[in-house]
Amino acid sequence: MRFYNQQHQYYCGIDLHVKTMYVCIVDAGGQALVHRNVPSTPTAFLEVVGPYGTDLVVAAECMFTWYWLADVCAAEGIRFVLGHALAMKAIHGGKAKNDKIDSYKIAVLLRGGLLPQAYVYPAAMRATRDLIRRRLHLVRKRGQLLAHIQNTRAQYNLPAFGRKLAYKANRDGVVERFADPSVQKSIEVDLALIDHYDALITDLELTIVREAKRHDADAFHRLRSVPGIGKVLALTILDESLVSVSAASIG
């Protein structure tokens, strides 16, 4: 686990939410200079941190709302640190816990060099990464439907299908294997949803391939030439490689 241990004149801890954020700014001596709740907007954030110049570091926990805050800090030349949510035991393990206390704890951990860091994914790559994650979500849902069909078959002790139902051509006649009309309807629903997921996933993969070629077409095609590496895995490796190069150049 990496900890942020660089020295600054001011340390800002933010307990960030969708509509509001509790901001705590402490100086190098540990004295709290700002400790209040403000709207979660770039204008409100810059108004609070503006008087403390560029020798300020801002930290927030790695929750789903951090993108905009990291981008505002990057645009304003303010150092931003993303706290590792699972490793911040001082926050989640405390007996006394609220937004005010949590923002102060983040600022103090940051000042003391004890804030566990998560990786701040580059803005240019985030949307593609999120698209890959969305595809994975749909693939898992599709897998649950296929598993339900297999579990239903086993529940009624019917013969095995013989072929993988993951392929559309192998799904003909599956409904008719079940005698009960209610069970047939349940399997029909599963198959209809699987067909819909197939179309969505195919469309997503086409977009993902276009993004791969936009990032680095030559590297993408080289990765695809490796046996066992498909479209999505190639983009995942490509994105992580580009991110690593970007992080190394920044460091």
With helix as H, strand as E and coil as C, how does the chain read?
Answer: CCEECCCCCEEEEEEECCCEEEEEEEECCCCEEEEEEEECCHHHHHHHHHHHCCCEEEEEECCCCCHHHHHHHHHHCCEEEEECCCCCHHHHCCCCCCHHHHHHHHHHHHHCCCEEEECCCCHHHHHHHHHHHHHHHHHHHHHHHHHHHHHHHHHCCCCCCCCCCCCHHHHCCCHHHCCCHHHHHHHHHHHHHHHHHHHHHHHHHHHHHHHHHHHHHHHHHHHHCCCCCCHHHHHHHHHHHHHHHHHHHHC
pLDDT of residue 91: 60
In the predicted structure, residue 242 carries a pLDDT above the cut 60: no
Q: Does domain 3-118 have CATH number 2.40.110.10?
A: no
pLDDT of residue 245: 42
Q: The tokens of 93 are what?
A: 């393990």
Instruction: Judge whether 26 and 19 are in contact, CB under 8 Å.
Output: no
pLDDT of residue 166: 93
Instruction: Judge whether 20 and 35 are in contact, CB under 8 Å.
Output: no
In the predicted structure, residue 95 carries a pLDDT above the cut 70: no
Instruction: Judge whether 83 and 58 are in contact, CB under 8 Å.
Output: no
Q: Taking the CB of residue 31, how many other CB atoms lie within 10 A of it?
A: 8
Q: What percent of the chain has pLDDT over 70?
A: 92
Distance of alpha carbon 106 from alpha carbon 112, whole angstroms: 10
Instruction: Judge whether 203 and 210 are in contact, CB under 8 Å.
Output: no
In the predicted structure, residue 251 carries a pLDDT above the cut 80: no
pLDDT of residue 145: 97
Which has the higher per-residue pLDDT, 85 or 15?
15
In the predicted structure, residue 25 carries a pLDDT above the cut 90: yes
In the predicted structure, residue 223 carries a pLDDT above the cut 50: yes
pLDDT band of residue 211 (cuts 50, 70, 90) is confident
| pTM given for the model | 0.80
Distance of alpha carbon 30 from alpha carbon 194, whole angstroms: 57
Distance of alpha carbon 34 from alpha carbon 12, whole angstroms: 9
The boundaries of every CATH 3.30.420.10 domain in the chain are 3-118
Instruction: Judge whether 237 and 223 are in contact, CB under 8 Å.
Output: yes
pLDDT of residue 246: 43
In the predicted structure, residue 241 carries a pLDDT above the cut 80: no
251 CA to centre of own chain: 23
In the predicted structure, residue 230 carries a pLDDT above the cut 50: yes
In the predicted structure, residue 51 carries a pLDDT above the cut 90: yes
- What number is the average pLDDT over the span 176-197? 96
Strands 10-16 and 56-61 come out as: parallel
pLDDT of residue 93: 63
pLDDT of residue 58: 97
pLDDT of residue 28: 94
